[in-house]
Each structure stands twice: as structure tokens, then as C-alpha cells.
Structure 1
């Protein structure tokens, strides 16, 4: 592709909640994506989450692995 045309720009707003929990609102989607900490990584971070959520790394791997 020789054309350097912009395809898309993501517009995302992130809200930090309690502890490691964050909500990402992606333009065009009503429901936020929730990030946090889960059992498999909580020891690394040295925390005990009130509720477990996928970590940002989980979303990166899922998004690039397909």
C-alpha cells in the first residue's frame, strides 16, 4: 500500500477506580472495558483484588494474537 492515508484514530477515555481497576470507554461502544488484576498475576503485584478482572496485558495478547 503506497498511500499513507489515515485509516482510524481511536478515542478512548479511561477512568481509574479503586485500586488497580480501570474502565476504558471506547468511542462507539456503550459498555466499558474493565481492566484489573486476577489470580494468575496478583502475587506479582502483591495485591488481593476485591474482584478479579482481566489485566491490560491479557487484552494486548488477545488483540495481537488473533
Structure 2
């Protein structure tokens, strides 16, 4: 029996090469293609509170969910 479906790997147009570096605690730096400086992810407000972080114990940065929502809305 032969498989007549098209090979999906042949349609790959782009492979994103992202490197994420842990900076300690909730902080991470994402090295993204097209940007010279890394994007720093962390926690703030209600997100930090949800994870039990005391206010002021870590620098406030946008979380990954904030970036995902922004990308979806953009």
C-alpha cells in the first residue's frame, strides 16, 4: 500500500532559532532572530502573586503569556 499524502516536511518555509537563557529566579532572556538585544521575560503583578513571589523580590518584566497575547493580537 502506498501513501499518496504529500510530505509535510517538504513544505517547511522557516525554522526559528531561538535560544533561552535562565538568568535566575523567574527571569529568562530570549535571544530572538532579528533582534540584537535579548528579550527579558519575568513576572509581574498577579502572575508573580500566583506563583508566590513577594512584591519587590525580583525585577518586574512582562511574562511569556504577555508576549503571546501581544503576538496574537498584533
Which structure: larger Rg?
2
Q: Identify which of 22, 37, 42 aligns with 1:36.
A: 42
Indicate the RMSD between aligned Cα atoms, in angstroms: 1.5
- TM-score normalised by structure 2 residue count: 0.75
- Structure-2 separation of matches of 1:60 and 1:30: 20
Number of aligned residue pairs: 63
Moved over 2 A (4+): 4-7
Residues 1-66 of structure 1 mapped to structure 2, 5 A cutoff: 5-48=11-54, 49-66=57-74
- TM-score normalised by structure 1 residue count: 0.82
Match of 2:49, SS state, is helix
Unmatched runs of 5 consecutive residues or more in structure 2? 1-9
Unmatched runs of 5 consecutive residues or more in structure 1? none
- Structure-2 separation of matches of 1:42 and 1:6: 37
